[in-house]
A and B are shown apart, each in its own frame.
Chain A
Amino acid sequence: MKLKTLISALASVLLIGSQVAHADKWGDQFPHIAATGDIPGMCSYESMSKKDYSGRTLTINTHAIPVMGEPTALHAEQFEKLTGAKVEVTHTPAGDLYSKAMVPFQAGQAPYDIVFGFSNFINDWKRYLAPVPQEYVDQMEGVSASHKAIASWDGVMYQYPVDGDRHYLKYRKDVIDNPEMQAKYKADTGNELKVPTTWKEYGEMASYFNGWDWDGDGEPEYGSAEVMKKDDLMYAAFYSRSVAYAKNPSTPGGFFFDLETMEPLINNPGFVEALTDWVDAVNYVPPGGINFGLGDEINSFGGGQTLFSFSWDDAFVAAMQPDSPISNQVGAAQLPGADRVWNRENGMWDAKSNQAPFFVWGWAVGVAGKSDNKDVAFDYLCFFANGANHQADIGIGRFGVNPFMEEDFKADVWTQIGWDKDIAQSYVETLADMEKSTNRVFPLRVPGTFEFNSALATGTAKALAGQLSPQAALDEVYAEWVAILERVGADNVRDAYAVGVKMEDNEL
């Protein structure tokens, strides 16, 4: 036993020693990876430095800076230095990533070798993308199986894994866990101040902590920061609020549509209840919060302006950065649930506690099938996601690179970058519990995804702006979805949707 321990300790020392040695060599040259140094692998700094792509030009269309745009540009610069390739990076707003690739794709052109987008583009994009070569897939040992499946269609990987996203609740630990605040809240409302487990509790607490200076910084704080800006991923925020009311584990066979009939479910009482809550939320977001996009949400919660936030990891990671005013004062938890959930089979509410995680999947990137630089492109992507870059990227909130590797779900990874142990633990447990849940919802990955989501964004935005009631807004969305199904073909949508339903119903 003692011998084993000794050998293990010796091996650890040697391993650490070797990494430090790499840190000396590459960490000095590339400060971004100074903390870890290079991490050996097929696409490490060491490996890339042996490639010679002089005279080759790689073109990339990515998101605007900072989210995903900043790491793309940073790794492009590093890749240029290592390989001699020239990398031209174009930055595009989130809403235009789809069309900026689709227009040339449909015209049979490839102005960009690499295109960034969202994971749910896969169905529309896959016929124009080059499959990820097997040698790259084989070296993705650390990528979680579910994430590999998400990046693939019919067993072929089209999207190179660089990011993994989930929506979960973020809250101000220094307020929610504060005994004085708990006593004050109890005295004023008669309720317990705790991590909200239902959206109703979330609304009550957010309303209470709205518009007054509860952290003593001389500025008023607000209840919640949410993505409410039309056409800026607001549809995903709405789905997060809907799953608790509309994803009933007793009624498998579709969350967005009834898979059998392809009847849209978007205006059933579950979704209407969620939208009613969301309309109320307009009263407890910061001034102008109805126009918050993802960047605003990250800055608002990450800057200490609100009590709660939900959606992507970025706001949480931004809040935990050393330069944040609320570093180590935030907590992560599952999305709130509901006390009742809609049963679409009997047309009644089931009076039971319900919670459902929403997997957003996040950023995805592919190589154009007609690119003349596929070899350089895949090497760039492999380099982007190599161990050293990944570990450095996930610790920077504004980068938008979130956990998708097995390693990321260990608390140590986060404590090493300065997170308190209990916060790191709750964070990884929150993510891991989502993976384990059997009541998960995945985003639409069907032909015409953008049409469905755009129609939803328009309808819900009208409700938030007071132009329509929640029911009328979702009835309008329902009518739009029916029209889209007619245009795209219900069977085409069903074939693709069935894959997502199988995952939701735990059959895959």
Chain B
Amino acid sequence: MNFKHKYVFLLPGLIVLIGILIFPIIFTVRLSLSGWNSFNPGLDFIGFKNYVRLFTDDPRFWQSFFRLSFLAITTVFLQYVIGFALAHMVWKDIKFKRFFRVLFLIPMMTTPVIMTVIWRTFFHESLGPLNDFLSIFGVQPPWLSSPSLAKVSIIVVEVWQWTSFMFLLMLAGLLSLPKEPFLAAAVDGASPFKKFIYVTFPLMAPISIGAIVIRLIEASKIMDTVFVLTSGGPGTSTETSSFFIFIKGLREFQMGYAATASFTYLIIMIISLTIIVKVLTKVLMRE
């Protein structure tokens, strides 16, 4: 094939890449160097003023980032454990296997915002069914009014919604595993526990890393659940980075500063996820 033809075939993809990925990033960087707000709309140039403000004078951004890290790691860990367990369960020949496989996928197929509204009703402290039931035992936990329980509520909703996704990936992984190592383990008389630890788990390591990273990327953008369930409250106790950026950009209309926070957050996430992949590869694949 002619050398130039190669570039012609690449061109459509390149245009799409520039249009939907490169341009928004470059525009965000440019916006981050401006003071665009409700009073001064426009791309003026204020240098690194926004970055200085973010790094030296905005603890709220960093608090929201560490809160996000906690929520993302906790939810993804729980999703992985539960999702793997459920996948392992229906991987075996059990009764109503097909029914359970469909059942476990249902949460993922529902609309997150609508489900979160339902969860909010569920957690409602004076009118919700959960506290109505718990009042039988004389307890009425402040699910959304206590800073710590509000975080727990978000974790519950996120785990409920996205464990299905983890389940799907882990089940696909389990179904694609070769049979020979399991036959060999059976011949050696390995117990089910040992089979899981020494055969299933190592064989599932590559897909586990992929699933965890995909979910971590998604969980790091957690926004709809926080927005609907707690609005970042009580106080700022459930505010995450994306919610903070939303407030600064679309509520307070500090577009320039929101772009600064957004770009900084992107860089931090790229670095963090690269490190996480390295660590997971080392730990799970024992490289």
| Secondary structure dominating the interface of B | loop
Residues 74-131 of A at the B interface (beta carbon under 8 Å): 95-96, 98-99, 102-103, 106, 124
- Write the residues of chain A forming the contact surface with B, with a CB cutoff of 8 angstroms: 95-96, 98-99, 102-103, 106, 124, 229-232, 286-291, 305, 447-448, 450-451, 454, 458, 461-468, 483, 487-489, 492
**B37, B140, B144, B235: the one within 8 Å of A467 (CB):** B235
- Which interface class (under 10, 10 to 19, 20 to 34, 35 or more) fits B? 20 to 34
Chain A residues within an 8 Å CB radius of B142: 287-288
Chain B residues within an 8 Å CB radius of A291: 144-145, 230-231, 233-234
Q: Once A and B bind, how many residue pairs between them come within 8 Å at the CB atom?
A: 104
Q: Look across to chain A and name the residue whose beta carbon is closest to the beta carbon of B63.
A: A467
Does residue B202 face the partner (Cβ distance < 8 Å to A)?
A: no
Q: Look across to chain A and name the residue whose beta carbon is closest to the beta carbon of B36.
A: A106
- Cβ of A454 and Cβ of B247 under 8 Å apart? yes
Candidate in B40, B142, B233 with the most chain A CB atoms within 10 angstroms:
B233
- Cβ of B234 and Cβ of A464 under 8 Å apart? yes
| Secondary structure dominating the interface of A | helix
- Cβ of B39 and Cβ of A99 under 8 Å apart? no
- Cβ of A231 and Cβ of B247 under 8 Å apart? yes
Contact with A along B54-85 (1 / 0, CB 8 A): 00010010000000000000000000000000
9 other A-B residue contacts (CB within 8 Å) besides A98-B253, A450-B251:
A229-B233, A230-B233, A287-B125, A288-B124, A288-B126, A305-B126, A450-B253, A461-B235, A488-B40
CB distance from B121 to the nearest CB of A (A): 11
- Write the residues of chain B forming the contact surface with A, with a CB cutoff of 8 angstroms: 35, 37-41, 57, 60, 124-126, 131, 140, 142-145, 147, 230-237, 247, 249-254
Instruction: Assess A451 versus B236: contact at CB under 8 Å? Given A288-B124, A291-B145.
Output: no
CB distance from A103 to the nearest CB of B (A): 8
Please give me the 7 A-B residue pairs with the lowest Cβ-Cβ distance, nearest first: A465-B235, A288-B125, A465-B234, A287-B125, A106-B41, A447-B39, A462-B235
**B38, B230, B234, B235: the one within 8 Å of A450 (CB):** B38
- Cβ of B234 and Cβ of A124 under 8 Å apart? no
A-B contact pairs, 10 of them (CB 8 A): A96-B250, A124-B253, A231-B247, A286-B125, A287-B140, A288-B126, A288-B145, A448-B37, A465-B233, A465-B237
- Cβ of A458 and Cβ of B125 under 8 Å apart? no
CB distance from A109 to the nearest CB of B (A): 13
Chain B residues within an 8 Å CB radius of A124: 38-39, 253
Chain A residues within an 8 Å CB radius of B235: 230, 461-468
**B40, B124, B145, B253: the one within 8 Å of A451 (CB):** B253
Chain A residues within an 8 Å CB radius of B124: 288
In the complex, A498 Cα to B57 Cα: how many Å?
Answer: 30
